[in-house]
């Protein structure tokens, strides 16, 4: 069973198809997981499922019109449910990235969040937004996923209503808009955690080192050994973190302490959605990914915690360390505990509203 939805206006050639991706059971209730597929006239095809608000596939042609999937993931819903799923393609929340010791204070009241990353809180906790079944609505070629997170879920105060809207247009821009409203003062920082390998051949992971990376950031947030910000900002000049001029990833990744990049880059605060925040090119295929965002930061992560022992199998074969990269648009990590960072606080009557665009090109 499937249906097609045709968008309107000048972007009407993008179609959205809906079918079933599998079935899960929650508290004795069986739920059908839906898959949503967009396809543009230039043959870009993107798939999202409503489990975890997860991007499961991004198929993009290369300069010779050969089409490959450029994101990591799985073919079956059962694999997304496993404990070793490293957040492939999911919507992350309530708060992306790390919160030190899972502790935070809002208006003088202390809260203890779930601990799931050593001594710290990561990506929303033990059961974050990546592990829930979202309600869905389709409007032309837009998909709106909705989730009501109850008060004190994973320790967060306030009932939080979240709407995430996905849309592919004929300019091959995949637009993700996040909105949220709360019943109590709380913190929110939403992102998507897709792993990209623009070479498209996920069994040849050395191709990732040939990727050419640009990030519009003159500073990063310094972190300790647990990847928790110290509160200091570091200039990227004369460091491996300087992507203000395009660099080949393989030339700098071995110089980064910790075995690769997992750092928040402080984006130049001007231009917003009109300016490229990050740009990555695979010279072998000619595929290019551009990222636009109104967020202040972007976490550049090179899959350092993917397994080296080849035990993780994805939809296109074995998944290995440094097999892909993430560009997670975000507020700064642990911002609730850092006075110098942009505030992540959301109050009743306000609307959290942020947009990220992934644009796919070929050169």
Q: Is 193 within any annotated ligand binding site?
A: yes
With the C-alpha atoms ordered 149, 153, 158, 164, is the resulting torsion angle positive or negative? negative
Is 97 annotated to bind ligand?
A: yes
Q: Is the dihedral of CA 104, 106, 112, 116 positive or negative?
A: negative
User: Cα–Cα distance between 163 and 146 in angstroms, integer?
Assistant: 5
34 near 21, Cβ under 8 Å?
Answer: yes
- The length of the chain is 363
Asked if residue 57 belongs to a known ligand binding site, the reply is: no
Q: Could you give phi then psi for residue 59, rounded to 5 degrees?
A: -100, 125
- The reply, when asked if residue 98 is annotated as ligand binding, is yes
Q: Is 263 designated active site?
A: no
Phi and psi at residue 192, in whole multiples of 5°? -115, 145
Q: How crowded is residue 268: how many other Cβ atoms within 10 Å of its Cβ?
A: 15
Q: CA geometry: angle at 71 spanning 67 and 75, to 5°?
A: 90
Catalytic residue among 193, 202, 263, 322: 193
d(CA 141, CA 12): 8
Is 10 in the active site? no
Rounded to whole angstroms, how far apart are CA atoms 100 and 94? 15
Peptide bond into 303 cis (omega under 30): no
Question: 63 labelled as ligand-binding?
Answer: no
Q: Taking a C-beta distance cutoff of 8 angstroms, is the pair 352, 330 a contact?
A: no
Number of other CB atoms surrounding residue 310 within 10 Å: 11
Q: Is 322 annotated as a binding residue?
A: no
Binding region for beta-D-galactose: 97-98, 193-195, 262
Going by the annotation, the residues of the binding site are 97-98, 193-195, 262
Q: Which residues are catalytic?
A: 193, 328
């Amino acid at each position: 069973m499937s249906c097609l939805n045709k968008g309107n206006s000048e972007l009407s050639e993008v179609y959205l198809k809906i079918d079933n991706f599998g079935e899960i059971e929650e508290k004795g209730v069986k739920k059908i997981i839906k898959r949503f597929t967009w396809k543009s006239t230039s043959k870009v095809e993107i798939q999202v499922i409503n489990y975890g608000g997860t991007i499961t596939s991004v198929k993009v042609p290369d300069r010779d019109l050969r089409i490959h999937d450029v994101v990591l993931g799985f073919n079956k819903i059962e694999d997304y449910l496993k404990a070793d799923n490293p957040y492939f393609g999911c919507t992350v929340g309530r708060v992306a990235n790390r919160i030190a010791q899972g502790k935070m204070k809002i208006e003088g009241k202390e809260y203890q969040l779930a601990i799931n990353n050593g001594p710290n809180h990561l990506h929303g906790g033990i059961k974050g937004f990546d592990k829930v079944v979202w309600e869905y609505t389709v409007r032309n070629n837009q998909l709106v996923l909705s989730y009501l997170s109850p008060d004190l879920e994973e320790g967060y105060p306030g009932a939080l209503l979240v709407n995430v809207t996905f849309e592919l247009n004929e300019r091959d821009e995949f637009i993700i808009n996040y909105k949220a409203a709360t019943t109590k003062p709380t913190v929110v920082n939403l992102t998507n955690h897709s792993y990209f390998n623009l070479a498209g051949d996920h069994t040849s992971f050395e191709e990732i080192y040939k990727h050419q990376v640009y990030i519009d950031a003159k500073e990063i947030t310094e972190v300790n050994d647990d990847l928790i910000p110290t509160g200091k900002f570091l200039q990227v000049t004369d460091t491996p973190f300087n992507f203000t001029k395009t660099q080949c990833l393989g030339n700098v990744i071995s110089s980064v302490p910790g075995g690769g990049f997992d750092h928040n880059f402080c984006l130049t605060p001007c231009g917003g959605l009109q300016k490229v925040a990050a740009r990555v090119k695979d010279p072998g295929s000619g595929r290019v990914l551009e990222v636009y965002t109104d967020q202040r930061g972007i976490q550049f992560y090179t899959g350092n915690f993917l397994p080296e022992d080849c035990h993780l199998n994805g939809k296109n074969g074995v998944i290995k360390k440094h097999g892909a990269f993430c560009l997670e648009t975000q507020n700064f990590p642990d911002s609730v505990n850092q006075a110098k960072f942009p505030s992540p606080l959301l109050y009743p009557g306000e609307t959290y509203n942020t947009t990220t665009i992934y644009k796919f090109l070929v050169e």
